[in-house]
Amino acid sequence: MLKSVSSTPVHDVESLADYEHLLSELMQLEPSQVNQTEKSQRLLKLFNILHQHHQQHCVAYANISRANQQQESANSVAELPFLAVRLFKQLELSSVEPQDVFRVLQSSGTTSQTAAKVYLDKATSARQSKTLVNILQRTIGKQRLPMLIIDAPKVVKDPKFSARAAGIQGLSFFGRDHCYALDDDMQPNWSAIDAFAAKYADKPILIFGFTFMLWAYFIQALNTQGKQLNFSQGVLLHSGGWKKLEAQKVDNTTFKDQVLTTLGVSRVHNFYGMAEQVGTIFVECSEGHLHAPLLADVIVRNPVDFRECKVGEQGIIQVLSALPTSYPGFSLLTEDLGRITSIDTCPCGQKGKTIAIDGRLPKTEVRGCSDTHSAEAQVGAML
């Protein structure tokens, strides 16, 4: 695993101590109390520390920064350097010693794709888990609910521990009495589904699934069987896989209508995230808008000259997360097209930016965001 020894004097212990203090301060604030200006100022301090930290501890990141003549500190979030997300498929991007790697998270690839590798130490993993809990508890509450998982149990048993498995395992923490709705052949396990429905009909439950899989393997199967379930007190979380649904003329409104018809669920929350930035997910609010969480930010860049786009202008999405110290994934240029839809003005009351995801860049390699399903059930990253 690559390591860096910087020729620049390093005060890394002090920097990371400052980082933890600043991060803790920000985590204690309410998203409804922090406007975008204050948030950007607080995050910029964290991002500059992370930039310097990864320059000192990751050879590949230091070389890229040097080649691009990056400054030690940026004056604004928009000036921060960024990595193309596909570099995690091509390079070993780690900022920790091999013996300190707690887990290597892999976004799944098909036979024609290389899996991205994300190196986690215990501190980064714990930080990401804590942040995910804080974000989702604002949506689903603190009580652990009976949970229906629209996937197969073998996924989490795979020793490769794909990002799909990480997503399921991460969300499983918020539930209890877990029930997998699909068998290992990706067919509905009707006996398990019916038993879960009989036990928890019209009671508070949590349902989680990757968007396309939920639609193709569960909602459509219910329609084919002429079955309806009574989960009127349930909440559904889902993510990824819109590309194939859009090809089938299924938009967010149609999706929610079918969920209401087949499951009786009216509380449906989509979210946007990726394996390369575990923890900082963008959750759909009650008004239907995807919010940048408190410890993350988003910039949309023009695909020609990479300038920062204005509100409402479509471009390439750059996501920033204050969490990763074990790998240089704090500022990533994705392969997704989207728009900033509002800043500090969402009717739900949460401050900061909201975004809309418009699709993938043309002619980019499909990253595997659960809109594919191979024979090995390797479906890509959500968390």
What are the start-end ranges of the H helices in 28-157? 36-57, 59-67, 87-90, 122-140, 154-157
Q: Decide if 342 is inside a domain.
A: yes
Round to whole Å and give the CA distance between 108 and 379.
6
- The backbone torsions φ and ψ at residue 241, rounded to the nearest 5 degrees and listed phi first, read 80, 20
- Number of domains present in the structure of the chain: 1
CATH code, 86: 2.30.38.10
**Distance between CA atoms of 143 and 137, rounded to whole angstroms?**
8
Would residue 346 count as lying in a domain? yes
Give the pLDDT of residue 3: 44
- Cα distance between residue 59 and residue 209, in whole Å: 37
The whole-number pLDDT of residue 383 equals: 34
Would you list the DSSP string of 185-228? TS-B-HHHHHHHHHHHTTS--EEEEEHHHIIIIIIHHHHHHT--
Let me know if residue 205 belongs to a domain: no
Digits of tens for pLDDT over the chain (383 positions)?
444 444 343 445 558 889 999 999 999 999 888 999 999 999 999 999 999 999 999 999 999 988 887 777 899 999 999 999 999 999 999 999 999 999 888 875 543 467 889 999 999 999 998 999 899 998 898 899 999 999 999 888 766 666 677 778 878 889 999 999 999 999 999 999 999 999 999 899 999 999 988 999 999 999 999 999 999 999 999 987 676 777 777 888 899 999 999 999 999 999 999 889 988 999 999 899 999 999 999 999 999 999 999 999 999 999 999 999 999 999 999 999 999 999 999 999 999 999 999 888 876 544 443 433 432 222 233 33
Does some domain include residue 281?
no
Q: Which amino acid is it at 383?
A: L
In a domain, 170, yes or no: no
- How is residue 238 written in tokens? 């889902």
- pLDDT value, residue 107: 73
Q: 């009216």: which residue's tokens?
A: 266
Single out the residue of 316, 354, 276, 294 nearest to residue 43, CA to CA.
294
One-letter amino acid for residue 111 of the chain: T
* Structural domain containing residue 17: 12-90+289-360
Q: Is residue 98 part of a domain?
A: no
| 301 occurs within a structural domain | yes
> Is 34 inside any structural domain?
yes
> Which residues, listed in sequence order, are joined to residue 268 by a DSSP beta bridge?
236
Of the candidates 339, 299, 348, 337, the one whose C-alpha atom is nearest the C-alpha of residue 36 is: 299
- Please give the pLDDT value at position 160: 62
